[in-house]
Amino acid sequence: MVYVAPSGSRAGSAGIFILEAADVAAMAPGTNAGAAHPVLIGLFAPKVDDEMKRKIENDTAALMRSVASKRGRNVEAAESAVRESKSFTEQEALSQHLIDYVASSEEDLFRQMGGKTFKRFNGQEVTLKLSGQPIVPFDMTLKERILGYLMDPNVSFILLAIGALALYAEFNHPGAVIPGTVGVVFILIAAFALNLLPTRFAALVLILGAFALFAAEAKFASHGVLTVGGITLLTLGGLLLVDSPIPEMRVHLFTALAVSIPLGLITAFLMSIALRARRNKLVSGAQGLIGETGIAQTTLAPRGKIFVHGELWDAVSSSEVSIGQSVVVRRVDGLLLQVEPLTVSRPVPAIP
């Protein structure tokens, strides 16, 4: 027995094959079945010519005729679901003899079937007495639940975006390991799911273009123009990523915006910080001494010692410096500092 329920459910595409293959087919009010024209899906689905399309269509239609005729159902109506992608409401399916019952619940279905005889695929006649019998759910396996979750285009898009952000973090912090590992794992899982979905390559190009604009925002002073462009491309890429005739099998607008806007702002912000850090003056090591003010501990005529950065350094001055006089570091040659006397005309440059 195959029962399409609850209200709002559908037995679309391959679902109507399963429905028509049942010994007893039933639908709940507010359901539909059909739209079974064959399509090729997947990231690496082959391109076929018109002749191959006709062969696939004829083969699928023959399978539907075989399934429907063996159950004594309307072969012509069933075949139209394949050749014309027709879909039927529960009342249309009942009136055209594609199903046997319309039932509001399982108990209603069992009541209608009580004492009635039907013929199985092998010709055997069977009478079922189901009233009062216990119902035992046949749940999906763990593997099926995981695959069902990953096959949600919204989940695939989120995994792809998080993976890209994690790889960016790894590139900016080499050796962190964890971001790189997370990025690779998430991107591979997203690629696996997208391979099973009708994915558009053009949408992947849009997503790559979005990350390119995010990177350019940090390098060029566009005042947010490139970030807005990246967010726009990422949103469009997400919306167009999965080309499915079923609305539930597409990336939702809310998901695309919820991913693209925060990701764009975070990426542009982190990249701008990284580039600013590279342009900043060194404030550590020997180069960090340049521009610092020190105190002469001995007379520099021209060589002596100065106290700077909490340490004693050998220094050489361009002019004589007396003990206790302030000097400014102008250059570092190994362990020797080249300094000048601190005067009003040569103020010490501010250290950022």
Tokens of 223: 């005042």
pLDDT for the residue numbered 83? 92
Give kind and range of the element (H or E) at residue 337: strand 336-341
pLDDT for the residue numbered 138? 86
pLDDT for the residue numbered 345? 45
CATH superfamily ID and name for 2-127: 2-enoyl-CoA Hydratase; Chain A, domain 1 (3.90.226.10)
pLDDT for the residue numbered 19? 95
pLDDT for the residue numbered 271? 67
User: Could you give the CA distance from residue 37 to residue 138 in angstroms, rounded to a whole number?
Assistant: 29
pLDDT for the residue numbered 102? 96
Burial class of residue 294, CB neighbours in 10 A (0-12, 13-18, 19+): buried
pTM of this structure: 0.53
pLDDT for the residue numbered 348? 45
Burial class of residue 46, CB neighbours in 10 A (0-12, 13-18, 19+): exposed
By C-alpha distance, which of 4, 155, 153, 168 is closest to 89? 4
Q: Which fold has domain 286-341?
A: OB fold (Dihydrolipoamide Acetyltransferase, E2P) (2.40.50)
- Over the chain (352 residues), the average pLDDT of each successive run of 10 is 93 92 93 88 62 89 91 92 93 95 91 82 80 82 89 90 83 78 92 86 88 76 79 90 78 88 77 64 59 85 84 85 86 82 56 48
pLDDT for the residue numbered 88? 96
**Residues in a beta bridge with 311:** 308
Q: Which three-class secondary structure state does DSSP give residue 346?
A: strand
Domain boundaries, the chain: 2-127, 142-279, 286-341
Tokens of 57: 């269509």
pLDDT for the residue numbered 287? 61
User: Could you give the CA distance from residue 343 to residue 224 in angstroms, rounded to a whole number?
Assistant: 44
Residues 6+ apart with CB under 8 A from 225: none
